[in-house]
Amino acid sequence: MLKKFIFLSLLGVSVSVFGCEKNSDKDAKALSDNAMEQPYAIGAEKRAPDFSLTSADGKNIKLSDYKGKIVIVDFWATWCPPCRKGIPDLIAIQKEFKNDVVIIGISLDSDQGSRATKSKVVPFIKEYGINYPIAYGDEKVIDKFGGINSIPTSFVINQKGNIVDTHIGLVEKSVFVNKIKSLLAKKK
């Protein structure tokens, strides 16, 4: 029993550094070392898929409503340690670049199964002081973005509506900030 606890504790530590497997009912699995350090290669810019989701405050959120802004779409869940660790950086980015950037958090918390955590989203938003819209994800939006196997997974979308970066796992704040500054410089 102690061996199992130690193993699961170690697994939890490595998960908190890299990412959480979205569809696992078991303890989340760690991602490879490359997942944290390198963005997923997508080649040429790709048009971001539009979506319409219900937000945590009951409003409708559409990606197309933010045309002309840089958008970071962040797939996450309340039960994911790396997601929790990255949220303060996203809050700071939203505050610093409020006129040019919108972060949209897409919660993959569910109201079914062993991870029935959807009811925890609104209290989580309040506890963390999240200052950007949070929407409840569904299979359609997951499919539109090519499938989300691990969280956090983030997409950086430029002012023209194209995906210019994809990150699987926890991302350093500086990576987002450098990309935002680069996109803002191109706009001038």
How far is residue 10 from each of residues 7, 14, 15, 27, 29, measured CA to CA in Å? 5, 6, 9, 11, 11
167 found inside a domain: yes
d(CA 55, CA 122): 10
Q: What is the pLDDT of residue 10?
A: 33
136 found inside a domain: yes
pLDDT in tens, 43-75: 457 899 999 999 999 999 999 999 999 999 999
63 found inside a domain: yes
- If we measure between CA atoms, which residue out of 52, 20, 65, 41 comes closest to residue 163? 41
pLDDT in tens, 11-53: 333 333 446 765 443 333 333 233 333 334 444 578 999 999 9
pTM for this predicted structure: 0.79
Find the domain containing 181 and state its range.
2-20+31-187
d(CA 126, CA 148): 26
26 found inside a domain: no
Q: What is the pLDDT of residue 94?
A: 98
Tokens of 69: 């802004």
pLDDT, averaged across the chain: 82
Structurally, the chain folds into a number of domains equal to 1
Q: How confident is the model at residue 96 (pLDDT cuts 50, 70, 90)?
A: very high
64 found inside a domain: yes
pLDDT in tens, 102-128: 999 999 999 887 768 999 999 999 999
CB atoms within 10 A of CB 15: 20
143 found inside a domain: yes
49 found inside a domain: yes
d(CA 145, CA 163): 10
Cβ atoms of 82 and 52 within 8 Å: the answer is: no
Q: How confident is the model at residue 3 (pLDDT cuts 50, 70, 90)?
A: very low
Q: What is the pLDDT of residue 188?
A: 63
Residue 143 has pLDDT above 60, yes or no: yes
d(CA 119, CA 11): 26
Q: What is the pLDDT of residue 19?
A: 64
CATH of the domain at 138: 3.40.30.10
Name the residue with higher pLDDT: 41 or 153: 153
